[in-house]
Amino acid sequence: MERRHFLSTALLSAANPLLQSFSAPDAHTAAALQESAREIPVTGEYDVIVCGAGPAGVSAAIEAGRNGAKTLLLEVHGCLGGVWTSGNLTWIIDNQNKPGLMREIMQDLTQRGGSATISGGDSFGFDAEEMKVLLEEYCLKANVTVRLFTRVAATAKKDNRLTHIVTESKSGREAWAGKIFIDCSGDGDLAAQAGCKYEYGGSDGVGQPMSLLCLVSGIHYNEIKPFVRDAEDSKIGTPSKKRLENEIIRGGVKPSYTRPGLYPIREDLYMLMTNHEYGFNGTDANQVSLATLRARAELHKIVNGLRGLGGVWKNLRIVATGEQIGVREGRRIHGLYTVTRKDLMEGARQHDAVCRVNMGVDVHSVKKDDESKGSYSRGVKLLPYDIPMRALIASDVQGLMMAGRCISGDFIAHSSYRVTGNAVPMGQAAGRVGAIAALSNRLPQEVKWEEVKWQVE
């Protein structure tokens, strides 16, 4: 029988206990409750533990599994894919020069009829349901243990090395032992809980707005083409967005995002991005809740307004709003290297390059008043630049890596590299380095880059 280990909560930072009841000092006046010490079962031991199954996390787990590491992938929502699936963001930017898993995903989706039937030009559109099932198949094949509906809630360290994470789910509170941990939570939850330092937002500490995305149907490409952000539209500077904004206004609503887009998936299925929620922090549950309720109400008003116009819109319907509002800004965890605006302007080359970024700076204004005034590029003329592996290794805690939007970078650099065409190679590279480190009992920074046999196109 497998030996059961227990961790004492006294060693861990506090979080709400599940499946446990304890007596309150005074039910009516207590400002805080004292959680009693208890034992948490260690549910499993893994070589690599990945927190968050978005584009970065799922890639990290698949690659670690394919490299022979016993791998656990933890996700708080009910499917794999993060913003691609729970967020309905069916549009992959900066995918062109990305070999490896990014290309494999696009090819497999195309082969099974899951890619968009209308070209988005350089961006790759897809069907979110096809993406969900494809990612599950990859994980099963790579022997990755997938645990859904499970939130990473606390960590345990020994001599500043991460040894366990603690999760909460329907199964209560559980601990998981690991050799290498990869934070792919987008918001840097794991690293923050482990005590890593981080940055958030721009110089004033305010982040970019959130946007709730939805899938819509009941419209037909040949009738609404002027409003669709397709390949032809992107070549001539996306005039579709201004037309769509005017059409939404004609339907009786001024959209909170002045550059709304209808992104094609199938002739009768589109992703709609038309909302900006300013001033909310994605790491505050109250603020995310409020932003989500506001955004969902606005999306329904917009779609109802368009449908009320009749004509080509008369059958427009929301198929689904995102389970998760799109959060652009999260914690940027301090790493062994920080990608900066200067790297973008100089087109930095790195000996340990994980991917080469082509995506320009895309700062969605942090204040509503600046939305139509400010330039999204912030005046940065970018040259394709490299993300080094060192930006994916935490500097404050040992045995911890990051991939996706929570890597180490400044506000401007993050506004360029954050798109999913870069999240995938970051995740894949972190998964490979994590597996090599775990299987040879080393830290990620002790793995020589030549051993990783990584190629950037």
Q: Return the number of the residue (171 or 439) whose C-beta is nearest ligand FAD.
A: 171
Rounded least distance, CB 273 to ligand FAD, Å: 6
Rounded least distance, CB 446 to ligand FAD, Å: 25
Which of 67, 88, 155, 185 is the binder for ligand FAD (CB under 6 A)?
Answer: 185
Determine, following the binding rule CB under 6 A, whether residue 437 of this chain makes contact with ligand FAD: no
Strand stretches in 229-304, DSSP E: 261-266, 269-273
Determine, following the binding rule CB under 6 A, whether residue 259 of this chain makes contact with ligand FAD: no
Determine, following the binding rule CB under 6 A, whether residue 261 of this chain makes contact with ligand FAD: no
Q: Return the number of the residue (57 or 65) whose C-beta is nearest ligand FAD.
A: 57
Q: What is the rounded distance in angstroms from the CA atom of residue 30 to the CA atom of residue 412? A: 44
Q: What is the rounded distance in angstroms from the CA atom of residue 335 to the CA atom of residue 392? A: 6
Determine, following the binding rule CB under 6 A, whether residue 77 of this chain makes contact with ligand FAD: yes
Determine, following the binding rule CB under 6 A, whether residue 82 of this chain makes contact with ligand FAD: yes
Helix (H) or strand (E) holding 51: strand 39-51
Q: What is the rounded distance in angstroms from the CA atom of residue 88 to the CA atom of residue 81? A: 10
Q: What is the rounded distance in angstroms from the CA atom of residue 236 to the CA atom of residue 121? A: 11
Q: What is the rounded distance in angstroms from the CA atom of residue 391 to the CA atom of residue 326? A: 23
Yes or no: say if 231 and 121 are a contact pair by the CB < 8 Å rule.
yes
Which of 260, 421, 425, 431 is the binder for ligand FAD (CB under 6 A)?
Answer: 421
Determine, following the binding rule CB under 6 A, whether residue 120 of this chain makes contact with ligand FAD: no
Of 316-345, binders to ligand FAD (CB under 6 A) are 324, 326-328
Residue 81: closest CA among 103, 64, 63, 56: 56
Q: Return the number of the residue (263 or 313) whose C-beta is nearest ligand FAD.
A: 263
Q: Return the number of the residue (312 or 393) whose C-beta is nearest ligand FAD.
A: 393
DSSP state of 324: S
Which of 40, 46, 63, 91 is the binder for ligand FAD (CB under 6 A)?
Answer: 91
Q: What is the rounded distance in angstroms from the CA atom of residue 411 to the CA atom of residue 443? A: 28
Determine, following the binding rule CB under 6 A, whether residue 168 of this chain makes contact with ligand FAD: no
Alpha carbon 274 to chain centroid distance?
A: 19
Please choose, out of 6-14, 71-79, 251-259, 295-303, the segment that lies near ligand FAD by the rule CB under 6 A. Answer: 71-79
Rounded least distance, CB 381 to ligand FAD, Å: 21
Helix (H) or strand (E) holding 432: helix 420-439
Yes or no: say if 291 and 256 are a contact pair by the CB < 8 Å rule.
no
Q: Return the number of the residue (70 or 328) whose C-beta is nearest ligand FAD.
A: 328
Binding-site size, ligand FAD (CB under 6 A): 37
Determine, following the binding rule CB under 6 A, whether residue 404 of this chain makes contact with ligand FAD: yes
Which of 391, 418, 429, 454 is the binder for ligand FAD (CB under 6 A)?
Answer: 418
Distances in Å between the Cα of 345 and the Cα atoms of 59, 382, 383, 457 are 28, 5, 6, 20
Determine, following the binding rule CB under 6 A, whether residue 138 of this chain makes contact with ligand FAD: no
Q: What is the rounded distance in angstroms from the CA atom of residue 202 to the CA atom of residue 138? A: 37
Residues of this chain that interact with ligand FAD (CB under 6 A) are: 51-57, 74-77, 82-83, 86, 89, 91-93, 151-152, 184-187, 189, 211, 324, 326-328, 404-405, 418-421, 423
